[in-house]
Structure 1
Amino acid sequence: MTTEPKNARPPQQPTKMSVCGIIGLVLGVLSIVLSFIPIVNNAAAVLGVVGAVLGIIAIVGTFRGKKSGKAIAIVGTVLSVLAVIITLSLQASFSKAIDDATGSSSASTSASSGSNTADAKQSKQDKEGDLDNMHVSIVSAVKSDNDFEGKPTVLVTYEWKNNTDKNSSFMALANAQAFQNGQELDTATYGIGTEPAGYDANSLVADVQPGASGKTTIGYVLKDDSPVTVDVTDLFSLNDDKMVEHKFDL
């Protein structure tokens, strides 16, 4: 007859995977993807905070030995925190661009009030010319890759010089539009990793110092194969006739 040792321990039950860790990882991945999309990244910040909290709960649980999946919990927490940081950084950039635009508008208004009406009224400038706050050249408009919805696009390249007295971006100074058959084209959004060659999404909001030059690329969704007319005006101006314009055959 056999007897069990007095100090024998019952067999340990295998720990279960942490549900909080799995949910935190899913929210972390989702929030990091959404954090790069303007406006939508507001939701990314919320998802990132929730994912980080769940990830921390999961990590604490794994240290206590109640749950497994420490690596998943850590990855989810890191991704969630990064999503919040990226969202806050991008929103700060957009806020700065709006502030710069407001300041440029005030400067433009003051300059316009001291000039004669006859001198202020100018004809349209073909392809390259001076606006109130910048010198701009419409370099090219080339048919490009499809956007994230599979629609054809045209990639327009602008070269410009900041003529203000403060750091400013193309977005803060210029109102750039493209037309086909008199109808305005929508701005194109490309999928992550599928951007066309030569396209730089950051060039629209990147600041340029006073007197320095920059290069900006913007994609527009095509309606058909007809010529594309591109025009650029000041974002804020009392002179609507001050424009740089050019028509491109695709």
Structure 2
Amino acid sequence: MADNNFENQTNNNDVQAAVTAALDVEKKKKKKKKWIIIAVVAVVIILIAVIASGGSDDSSSEDSNASAVTSAVSAESEEKSNDTVGDFKCVVKGAKLCKDLTGKDAVLITYEFTNNSDSAVSFDVALDARAYQDGVGLETAILDEDTDYLDVDIKPGVTKEVKKAYNLRDTSTEIEIEVSELISFSDDKIVTTVEIDK
């Protein structure tokens, strides 16, 4: 009984950690993230149901599911190249100097995004792209209304250019781009360093 309580407490801590991580992502990515909350709530409900049932059959089922996930992650890691993370390929094509709406220096990063998953998905829903100068994160910039960088879903096997803007600290320091899956248990990242095209 004590082991069950300890396991339930551990599982509750895991559930709490997952919810906390998802809420942090929500705060940073204010756009198009409502579905993440829905997905997290669904996962939490499923985990609570598994914990509440507490039966050994459910435990062995959970263990086999965890083994399947581990096997899938291992297989993906073996096939992964330097520009692939999870089911997605992302190549940084360039960094162009520009101005944001307030006239401050910004950079427009062009990504080449390929969806190799089983369903249609947009860049922002699939991947988390962050830019750094001297190890300090750059905030997302808003460019003028004429700039077309709308993110849309693309079907499996399709490649599309996606543009994201970031406010600069200065115009001479190179930029490090880190791209990872938005929701993943893996720490895999695509890391690219680019110089600003002036």
TM-score of Structure 1 vs Structure 2, range by shorter chain: 0.5 to 0.7
Partner in structure 2 of residue 236 of structure 1 = 183
Which of residues 137, 147, 155 in structure 2 aligns to 1:209?
155
List runs of 5+ in structure 1 lacking aligned partners: 1-92
Equivalent pairs, count: 141
Pair 191,227 (structure 1): closer, same or farther in 2 beyond 3 Å? same
Which residue identity does 1:134 align to in structure 2?
F
Deviations 1:99-127 (A, max 9, x none): 6x949xx8xx88633247698499993xx
Please tell me whether Structure 1 or Structure 2 has the larger radius of gyration of its CA atoms: 1
Give the C-alpha shift of residue 185 in structure 1: 0.3
Map Cα deviations across residues 208-228 of structure 1 (whole Å, 9 max, x no partner).
Answer: 011111110001100012111
- Name the structure 2 match of 1:130: 84
- Distance in 1 (alpha carbons) for counterparts of 2:183 and 2:67: 12
What's the counterpart of residue 35 of structure 2? 98
2:120 aligned with 1:174, yes or no? no
**Partner AA of 1:234 in structure 2:** E
Partner letter of residue 94 of structure 1? Answer: K
Distance 1:180 1:118, change over 3 A: same
Q: 1:182 to 1:237 in 2, by over 3 A?
A: same
Decide whether the 8 Å contact of 1:98 with 1:172 is kept in 2.
no
Q: Say whether the 8 Å CA contact 2:90–2:113 is kept in structure 1.
A: yes
Look up the match of 1:112. Answer: 69
Code of the aligned partner of 2:70: S
What is aligned with 1:142?
A: 96
Deviations 1:154-190, CA, capped at 9 Å, x for gaps:
1100111111111100011000010001000011102
Kindly provide the CA deviation profile for residues 1-59 of structure 1, in whole angstroms up to 9, marking residues without a partner as x: xxxxxxxxxxxxxxxxxxxxxxxxxxxxxxxxxxxxxxxxxxxxxxxxxxxxxxxxxxx
Runs of 4+ with deviation above 6 angstroms: 121-124
Residue 220 of structure 1 is matched in structure 2 by: 166
Q: Partner amino acid for 1:143?
A: L
Q: Distance in 1 between matches of 2:189 and 2:81?
A: 5
Q: Is the 8 A contact 1:123 1:243 kept in 2?
A: no
Distance 1:192 1:220 in 2: 15
Q: 1:158 aligns with which of 104, 111, 128?
A: 111
- The CA RMSD over aligned residues, in Å, is 3.3
How far the C-alpha of 1:192 sits from its partner, in A, is 2.5
How does the TM-score come out when normalised to structure 2? 0.60
SS in 1 for 2:144: coil
Match of 1:74 in 2: none
Distance 2:67 2:92 in 1: 28
Percent identity between the aligned chains? 25
